[in-house]
Structure 1
Amino acid sequence: MFLAAVAGGGGVWTTHFVAMLAYEPPAPVSFDPAMTVMSLVIAMVGLLISFSVSALGVTPVFALAGGALVGLSYSAMHYTGMFAYHVVGLIEWQFGYVVISILLPVLCSAISVALTSQRQLPMRHFCWSVALLVVGIVGLHFTAMAAYRVTPLAGSSPEIDPAAILALALAIAIVALIIVGTGLASYLIDTNVRTDSQEKLRHMAAHDALTGLPNRPNFTSHLSRLVQEAGGHDRKFAVIGVDLNRFKEINDTLGHSAGDEALRIISRRMAQCLRDDEFVARLGGDEFAAVTKCASRSEVSAFSNRLAEIFNRPIRIGSMEVSVGASMGAAIWPDDALELDELVNNADLAMYHAKHAFLDGLCFYDAGIGALVRKRRQLAEALRHALEHDELDVHYQAQMSLSTGKVQGYEALLRWTHPQLGPISPSEFIPVAEENGLIGSLGVWVLRRACMDAAAWDPPCRVAVNVSAVQFMDASLPRLVHEVLLETGLPPQRLELELTETALIKDKARSLHIIRQIKALGVGLALDDFGSGYSSLETLRSFPFDKIKLDRGFVDGIEQDRQSKAIVRAVLALGKSLDIPVLAEGIETDEQMSVLRLEGCDEGQGYLLGRPTPVGDLAHKSGPAPMVPPRQHRVA
């Protein structure tokens, strides 16, 4: 608005005084410098106020008011300039012309500004606006001059200094050049800034803010261009879906800032390795998509191998060195799909299959993979629905003392009966829950349900609940356990959490801190599946476990396998040395029971001692199990 006021006020002021210099009255003239400069200031300030008023609101009233002030500003400028015009003679003003000269620019400028205040300005309205403004300014000048009458005085008149007139003309010329230069400079600045801003906005709209790679809309546009270029020619291109394998571990253990840095490093490496006709975009999170023109699958595989080398290359973040790896799946246009949405979806299906099957190389899409992945996705949606609508259940399997035959407690086991598919094995739906981020919610649900059920048992006994690696790495787990115990009224010493060593080795310092907080609540901890996976004596030395659960793989065949019996004997001896009781899982035969009793195993669990049973049926179990009343309330 300031630049517009300078240009508009100075331009009209220059027009006024150029016309005044062209006027030759029948008497000598001179100009008052102070009043001349004042008229210029009045024009500029008046316009600035006028533009400010017109910008106050979106209604036409403000535009009309601001436009009227434009006309008044020009009128005030004109008449101030006329008072600076000194003529040796008698001056007369015709009042009617004066009124018309003021009303004409006020009316024309009000309509002109109102026309240009529209959001979508048609060209014809713009032309009318310019024409009205010109009519108002020109009409002001010549109507006001028509109101001006000069009668020369008889006798001699003082000589007018030509140098003063020349100085005024030069001053006006300089002001005109300044105005033209200001307008030109402002136009160039505005044009350059607008161009830069638009370029930045286009880049921001088409690229990911964190990594600088093309984003999903840019990726979609690139695929559309490839289809148009292919036309009727026999050309193909492949879409490769990429999902980082161990990115969540970086976020959980090193923090989100480290995860962001890892994404930036990986993205920079991918951008540097691209060749002609290759394209990589970040779709969101740790998911990427790559596109390459191809004539055969071998070319796609070669491209994916270069990407895999990048994902497997170590990344240094601070003092840590990590490697993420990735699962990749490819779909080829037009072989696997003609529609782009279907093509991208098929690449995702192949990628998810590679992730689930732990494939090292690239997985190409086929119909069988699509059906399998769709089934797992449908299962995940059904599991999410079952969790939200409380359609899951918890069964309990007895944990018995092998020396006395008395039930010491029960392990809580999650069960799911699908309305159409019937009972679904945990070995089938638990991996689906882990893949789709549901395992944490399932763990919380089972913990709350098991504590609520156990709180009603009479006589009281212990309940054991498995904690997944995802749930255990959550720093809020101790607070959650405390809240559930307070909510259900279960004494802490009657709750036992079962952990696998896999959950501990990701970050031992963090794991030890969480374990100490749980132990401080009075809750017991058991090392589950000992003897399988990453089991080591260092874990027993470093972490304060209350129980060791011997993996069922060593119990199976213990009556004939000398090696299994020797391992069991060694674990039992280790437990006695560390004063940690040992529970053997998977006891299914009397022979297994006899060997374990003979070797001095403390507790056992398995089908021989009791199958997983709904809480309402525990009261009807035979044997030494405690009598348990049916559950009287459910988790909301």
Structure 2
Amino acid sequence: MGTQRVGWTFLTAVGAGATIWCTHFVAMLAYQAKVAVTLDPVLTIASLIIAVVGTGLGFGVALVRRHILFHVTGGLIVGTAISAMHYVGMAAYRVDGIVEWRWPYVLASLVCAALFSGAAAAMLGTDRSIKYRRLIGAALLVAAIALLHFVGMTALRITPLALSQTPLDPGQLHALGLATSLVGLVVIGAGVSAAFIDRKTRSDAMEKLHHMAMNDALTGLPNRISFQRKLDRLLDKARISGSELALIAIDLDRFKEVNDIHGHKAGDDVLVAFARRMRQEVGEQGFVARLGGDEFVALRPYVDRDELATLVTGLDAVLKAPLRLGSFDAHLGASIGVAIYPQDATTADMLSNNADLAMYRAKGSSIFGPCYFDPEQDDAVRERRELANDLRHAIDANQLDVHYQVQASVVTGEVTGYEALLRWQHPERGDVPPEIFIAIAEENGLILSLDEWVLRRACADATGWDHQTKVAVNVSPVQLAHAGLPQLFHQVMLDTGLPPRRLEIELTETAIMADRDRALHVLRQIKALGVGVALDDFGTGYSSLETLRAFPFDKIKIDRVFASELESSPEATAIVRAVLALGKSLSIPVLAEGIETDRQLEVLQREGCDEAQGFLLGYPASGPVSGQSPFGDAKPLPQQASAEQVA
């Protein structure tokens, strides 16, 4: 930027200085002295140099800082250069006569040049909001040059003497004047041409920058900023005309699979192809933008609902149509949500939000088609999104809590461990059940952060216990699928100082079966660290004997549904007996969950169960745990409360 400024200052100095010099000498050549005239070439060239250097110095000072003092100082230097050029030029103007100067006029000409030049520079460098500031500044500079010349020439008085032997004849004067004018015009033309070229270059560059700022680089579609501006304009038009406007939120389905399987280049090709399809389907009357990732949005004013329905159905069809890319066919589809102004919303933010809600409902719906905004149905979606934002904040702000439920030996009553159970006390909604906020965490990509938070908190708490019992932590299917899970366990135990033998993870067979070979490999790495692995909720999922054979679990946990029927269902008792026998044959301890009555505990003792967990032994509680046997203080579950209500 500094080099460019110096270059333009030089061009300005050459153009302005040469123009001032040409103006002076053309005017002097037109002056009728009524005596023979000659021109001193050295002083003539010197006057040109003074004009160029002086104006360049003045403009340079004026550009040092955007301050009135620098502007005025630079203008005064320009005015001084104009005066010096004029009077040096007059010294080069040799006449056969006596030259007299009337000094009051000379002084007046110097003052006029300085004042008007300073005012011109101040005007050109001042606030750009002033109307016609450039025109006013140029007029002031012209006034400085003109006043200097005419007032200065008024100060000149010539008394003719003998004629010179080599005067300039009228033809030579005209030729010199024409040459000087042509030189001035060439310089001015060059400066103007350079200015136009620079402006055109700047205009093209600004246009490109504006296009880059307002459009998506990959698809060429308008971006989020363009969408917001377009939406505001269309809403204003709709308010004036009383028409309706549809906002269509679009999120591609299974796009991540394309990236994961075929690479990001294939993903980019899919986005470009679908962008082209949507642009063609919406037509010239509509507007399509890419908000980011695989999220798109369309705007379309319409006359009747049939027209809108045709558009939405067409978009759904072109997005579900197969897409051939190289050696593979992409079958994606999209979740589409529609909100209508003014029926569904009256502001831009509300309209966008309601279209998103309808789109999220379409994503989670079994209908597999576009969804129109429905206040009753989408209120539930809105609430879940608000809960997701609150949960994200709770994780970051450490506002969650971990409760611990005791696990004990059925035979001896000795405490064998505590299961860590996550709890969330919302500041406004109160207690949020785990089955709600864990599902929300899975839907919104928060489950990994949530699982790591619980793991770190449970290990840190267990380190501070005054006994050496185990702490059991649940592992979600998403966390089990994460390649860095063994490293995470290792790092957490290093950070907290918890011995691996005191940590046990619990996971369901459903989590394992999502990718059985990979899951078993990860579990073997975790077990190699010395961490125990328990199979949770056994009996309700696959209950595959092959899984038990393939991996040496440290514990099997029978689901609470069987414990709740031990007193009344012989079938439930038979299933528990079979699982216990299976565990003994494989040398795997078995723990029964959901023990709430003495009768259920008696059945387990009779059948030879190893461990038990439930409200009979103790409710989940926060804070330090005692490590003492729970049987002496066991209390039956109150009749008016169910297990789910207490949990």
TM-score w.r.t. structure 1 length? 0.77
CA distance in 2, matches of 1:385, 1:138: 72
Matched, 1:303 2:340: no
Does the CA contact (< 8 Å) of 2:36 and 2:163 recur in 1?
no
The corresponding residue for 2:286 is 278
CA distance in 2, matches of 1:512, 1:182: 79
CA distance in 2, matches of 1:347, 1:591: 57
Does the CA contact (< 8 Å) of 1:253 and 1:507 recur in 2?
no
Does the CA contact (< 8 Å) of 2:477 and 2:511 recur in 1?
yes
Deviations 1:307-366 (A, max 9, x none): 47537857979x999876543322223333344433322222222333344653222221
CA distance in 2, matches of 1:256, 1:223: 31
Matched, 1:368 2:373: no
Does the CA contact (< 8 Å) of 1:11 and 1:176 recur in 2?
yes
The corresponding residue for 1:182 is 190
CA distance in 2, matches of 1:506, 1:250: 19
Alignment equivalent of 1:494, drawn from 495, 502, 505: 502
Paired residues for 1:120-135 under 5 Å = 120-123=128-131, 128-135=136-143
Matched, 1:614 2:621: yes
- Cα distance, 1:488–1:124 mapped onto 2, change above 3 Å: closer
Paired residues for 1:414-493 under 5 Å = 414-417=422-425, 423-457=431-465, 459-469=467-477, 471=479, 481-482=489-490, 484-493=492-501
CA shift, 1:140, in A, is 1.5
Unaligned runs of 5+ in 1: 626-636
Matched, 1:342 2:350: yes
Matched, 1:140 2:115: no
Does the CA contact (< 8 Å) of 1:530 and 1:548 recur in 2?
no
The corresponding residue for 1:413 is 421
CA distance in 1, matches of 2:228, 2:315: 23
Q: Secondary structure in 2 aligned to 1:329? A: strand
- Cα distance, 1:468–1:281 mapped onto 2, change above 3 Å: farther
TM-score w.r.t. structure 2 length? 0.76
Q: Secondary structure in 1 aligned to 2:112? A: helix
CA shift, 1:179, in A, is 2.7
CA distance in 2, matches of 1:4, 1:372: 67
Matched, 1:8 2:16: yes
CA distance in 2, matches of 1:309, 1:549: 50
CA distance in 2, matches of 1:513, 1:37: 90
The corresponding residue for 1:629 is none
CA distance in 1, matches of 2:301, 2:607: 63
Matched, 1:289 2:265: no
Length, aligned pairs only: 616
Paired residues for 1:320-335 under 5 Å = 326-335=334-343
Alignment equivalent of 1:168, drawn from 163, 176, 184: 176
The corresponding residue for 1:31 is 39
Higher alpha-carbon deviation: 480-489 or 438-447: 480-489
Amino acid at match of 1:57: R
Amino acid at match of 2:247: V
- Cα distance, 1:155–1:204 mapped onto 2, change above 3 Å: closer
The corresponding residue for 1:103 is 111
CA distance in 1, matches of 2:543, 2:154: 107
CA distance in 2, matches of 1:134, 1:345: 60
Q: Secondary structure in 2 aligned to 1:415? A: strand
Alignment equivalent of 2:230, drawn from 207, 222, 227: 222
CA shift, 1:67, in A, is 0.5
CA distance in 2, matches of 1:477, 1:368: 41
Q: Secondary structure in 2 aligned to 1:123? A: coil
Matched, 1:77 2:65: no
The corresponding residue for 1:634 is none
Amino acid at match of 1:303: V
CA distance in 2, matches of 1:125, 1:276: 42
Does the CA contact (< 8 Å) of 2:216 and 2:223 recur in 1?
yes
Deviations 1:492-521 (A, max 9, x none): 222233456887899999989977875675
Amino acid at match of 1:462: K
Higher alpha-carbon deviation: 339-348 or 361-370: 339-348
CA distance in 1, matches of 2:180, 2:625: 105
CA RMSD, aligned part only?
A: 5.0
Deviations 1:546-577 (A, max 9, x none): 5575784997999749998999799979x95x
Alignment equivalent of 2:123, drawn from 111, 115, 121: 115
Does the CA contact (< 8 Å) of 2:392 and 2:446 recur in 1?
yes
Unaligned runs of 5+ in 2: 1-8, 634-647
CA shift, 1:70, in A, is 0.8
Deviations 1:197-232 (A, max 9, x none): 453454345434565432334324433444455568
Amino acid at match of 1:135: A
Q: Secondary structure in 1 aligned to 2:64? A: coil
Does the CA contact (< 8 Å) of 1:66 and 1:110 recur in 2?
yes
Amino acid at match of 1:414: L
Does the CA contact (< 8 Å) of 2:246 and 2:340 recur in 1?
yes
The corresponding residue for 2:643 is none
Deviations 1:405-445 (A, max 9, x none): 86543332213355776644321121123334543443233
